C-alpha cells in the first residue's frame, strides 16, 4: 500500500506533476534561456530559441528542428490552459523562427 500524505495524495504524486519541466531541463533537447516563452514578443522568443539552439551542446538534430521542437513541446504541454493571446504570440514565434532560419512558411490547405 503506497504511503499517503495528510491530504490523501500518494507520496510521489506531487513529483509527477512537473514531468515536462523535468524533461525540458534534463533531456538532450537543448539548453534554453530562462523565461524564453514569457518574452514580450514573438520575435524575441524566436531569437532566443535560435540562439539557444545554435549554442547548445545537448541537441540531437539541426538547430532549426531543435528550436521548433521545443516551441511545439511547450505549446502542446500547455494545451487548453494557454490563453488565446499567448497562443497567438507563440504561433507567431514559429513563423518568426522559420524566417530567422530562412525556411519557407508551410502552405495552408485550401478549402
Task: Give residue-wise pLDDT tens across range 44-62.
Answer: 999 999 999 998 877 778 9
Helix (H, G, I), strand (E, B) or coil at 10: strand
Containing structural domain, residue 95: 27-100
Closest CA to 73 of 34, 37, 109: 37
Quickly tell me which residue has 490523501 as its cell: 8
Mutual orientation of helices 42-55 and 84-100 as an angle, nearest 10°? Answer: 50
Query: Is there a domain that residue 95 lies in?
Result: yes
* 106 domain residue, yes or no: no
Residue 88 lies inside a defined structural domain of this protein: yes
Please report whether residue 11 resides in a domain: no
Overall number of domains in the chain: 1
**Domain-located, residue 18:** no
**pTM for the whole structure:** 0.72
Residue 15 pLDDT greater than 60, yes or no = no
Which residues, listed in sequence order, are joined to residue 4 by a DSSP beta bridge?
Answer: 10
Please indicate, yes or no, if residue 111 is contained in any of the structural domains.
Answer: no
4 inside domain: no
- Which among 55, 59, 62, 52 has a CA at the least distance from the CA of 28? 59
* 13 occurs within a structural domain: no
Residue 104: pLDDT band (50, 70, 90) is confident
Amino acid at each position: 500500500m503506497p504511503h499517503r500524505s495528510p491530504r490523501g495524495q500518494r507520496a510521489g504524486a506531487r513529483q509527477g506533476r512537473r514531468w515536462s519541466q523535468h524533461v525540458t531541463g534534463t533531456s538532450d533537447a537543448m539548453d534554453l534561456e530562462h523565461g524564453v516563452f514569457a518574452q514580450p514578443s514573438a520575435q524575441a522568443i524566436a531569437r532566443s530559441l535560435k540562439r539557444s539552439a545554435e549554442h547548445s551542446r545537448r541537441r540531437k538534430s539541426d538547430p532549426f528542428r531543435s528550436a521548433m521542437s521545443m516551441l511545439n513541446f511547450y505549446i502542446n504541454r500547455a494545451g487548453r490552459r494557454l490563453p488565446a493571446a499567448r497562443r497567438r504570440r507563440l504561433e507567431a514565434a514559429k513563423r518568426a523562427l522559420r524566417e530567422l532560419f530562412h525556411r519557407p512558411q508551410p502552405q495552408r490547405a485550401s478549402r
